[in-house]
Amino acid sequence: MFKSKIFMVLLMFVLLVSVAGCTKDESSSGKESKSGDSKEPVTFSYYNAASPGKDMNTNETVIGKELEKQTGVNFKVEYAVGDINTKIGTMIASGKYPDLLVPDAALPKVLDAGAFIELNDLIDKHAPNIKKLYGPYLNRMKDKDGKIFFIPMEASQGFIANPNIDQGAFWIQRAVLKEAGYPKIKTLDEYFKLIEDYKKKHPEVEGKSTIGFTALTYDWRFFALSNTPNHLAGYPNDGGVQVDMKTHEAKVYGNNDDTKRYLKELNELNSKGLFDKEAFVGNYDEYLAKLTSGRVLGFFDYGWQIGQAEDNLKNAGVDDKRYMALPITFDENTKDQYLDPPSFVSNRGVGITVSAKDPVRIIKYLDNMVKEENQKLILWGIKGDTYEVNDEGRFYRTEEQIAKTSDEKFREDFGSKIYEWGWPRGNGLYADGNAWEPRRQAEVAQMSYTDGDKKLLEAYGVQVFSDLFAKPEDRPWYPAWSVQLEEGSKEQIFSQRQTDLQKKYYPKLVLAKPSEFESIWTEYKKEYNALDVKVYEETMTKEIKKLIDQAE
């Protein structure tokens, strides 16, 4: 009898626990479902380590208010100040994160800490628009276990070149081209000869010596120098490797003849007094100031890094001191590949953290914002206010609208700035054939051209500046630099040591006496080859072939 009572008590206890557990699960499930469909006002926290900005609420902007009206969701946005790794490290140590996080270069640390929740089920159940936009790339978003922990920033929807070059190119001051009669040049030798001839005639600019050619080498931007031989050889920006188009084998070029040839050219340029000796010691701001000064005749860089200098020159009305991008290669018969093919960068993105109060509402907000009509609102704005549509359905902007949407205060108030980067989005072409981004629409670019721009384009027989460049070949893995290397792995260590070695030796190679170049190159190559080159190449080849398989 006593045993029976004990049994009954235990049974009742088990049943109560089971009911309580079911009630808790049902309550949680019901709350999630109710919350996900709700449009009740709610504010989530968001931290963006990828770009600078002003801390504010998204609903303080025109775009944010509209998206809040559609979803009930507002984000309190905070941007990175100071060292990213320190800030992210503090989050990891405390275990407390914002609801939504863009960790930028600290992404591996965030993933290792388990700070992001898995998104597979959330995307499947609540994000049809994300699935549609990122459809071709969903496999590339998965880790080795098939899990998705973050959404990369951009999904390409077909190819369209930026009319005004925003990627790599050899830039030359317009005054140099004008004085030479706007010659059509292709090779590096022709490019340097133009600069040499011009500097002989114009050794000074406003009392200061003319700089024939400079280079950006500061901090992580050093790739603007180390990538250059790759472009001259007819390859796109795949980072530290050149990928064979037939075999898809990846080979480093930091120790090959392309790099040696370019550094030797710079060495010879330096011996003639044409290379900027301060290039290896100046910081980024000093580099931009030099470009703005009008003293620099040429340089290699990526258009997105020199925008501030170009804008300053344009606003100052000194058209001859502005620069033009040229698709220079080593040899006449080399096809340039400066323009990026459709790409997918899978090692940067935005994730929902383990601290998120309501992942369903967050993923639904992100899903809603990638609808084409909302992408057009975010990037183009409002028809009749920030853009127009012609009879053929082509989007364009008037001169007044271009000026309006370029104003920093307007961009901040409208929301163009806060939504510009750090959220899921597309690029390329909309279903109606218009460019995803206004800056890639030829009609917008042409409307913003100055008289000097038009004269230059006419002299070279092109409609927009990108017409001078070859169309990119299809590279389904592109870009290889987005391959995520495991922190502390042999491949990651090689990548870091390669950069350290280049930063040590490139200044020596460029600034040495020509008679010393070969011996320094031999020394550099010996140290380079002592690194884990083979391991790195094998891993990159394997990853590139995997990306190709995922794209098929």
- 322 pLDDT more than 80: yes
SS3 call for 525: helix
Tokens 């170009």 belong to 310
Q: Outline where DSSP puts E strands in 274-332.
A: 296-302, 323-326
Give percent of the chain with pLDDT exceeding 70: 93
Pick the closest to residue 77 from 63, 56, 97 (CA basis). Answer: 56
> Which tens digits make up the pLDDT trace of 241-270?
999 999 999 999 999 999 999 999 999 999
**What pLDDT score was predicted for residue 301?**
98
Task: Kindly report whether the peptide bond that precedes residue 479 is cis, defined as omega within 30 degrees of 0.
Answer: yes
**What pLDDT score was predicted for residue 91?**
96
Residues 6 or more apart whose Cβ sits within 8 Å of residue 133: 155, 157, 370, 424, 426
Q: In whole angstroms, what is the distance from residue 67 CA to residue 365 CA?
A: 8
**What pLDDT score was predicted for residue 552?**
63
Lowest mean pLDDT among 32-36, 236-240, 351-355, 509-513: 32-36
**What pLDDT score was predicted for residue 36?**
57
- 20 pLDDT more than 80: no
Domains contained in the chain, CATH given: 168-338+483-551 (3.40.190.10)
- 275 pLDDT more than 50: yes
Q: In whole angstroms, what is the distance from residue 515 CA to residue 507 CA?
A: 15
The DSSP element (H or E) to which 359 belongs, if any, is: helix 359-369
- Note whether 354 and 97 are within 8 A (CB): yes
DSSP summary character for residue 421:
S
**What pLDDT score was predicted for residue 277?**
92
- Note whether 151 and 134 are within 8 A (CB): yes
> Which tens digits make up the pLDDT trace of 435-482?
999 999 999 999 999 999 999 999 999 999 999 999 999 999 999 999
HEC string for 266-303: HHHHHHCCCECHHHHCCCHHHHHHHHHHCCEEEEEEEH
- 21 pLDDT more than 50: no
> Which tens digits make up the pLDDT trace of 29-60?
333 444 557 889 999 999 999 888 899 999 99
- Note whether 104 and 50 are within 8 A (CB): yes
DSSP summary character for residue 340:
P
Q: In whole angstroms, what is the distance from residue 116 CA to residue 119 CA?
A: 9
The identity of residue 208, as a single letter, is K
The identity of residue 16, as a single letter, is L
Q: In whole angstroms, what is the distance from residue 274 CA to residue 482 CA?
A: 35
Lowest mean pLDDT among 441-445, 484-488, 522-526: 484-488
Pick the closest to residue 436 from 249, 161, 252 (CA basis). Answer: 161
Length of the chain: 552
**What pLDDT score was predicted for residue 83?**
85
| Structure-token pair, residue 307 | 């925008």
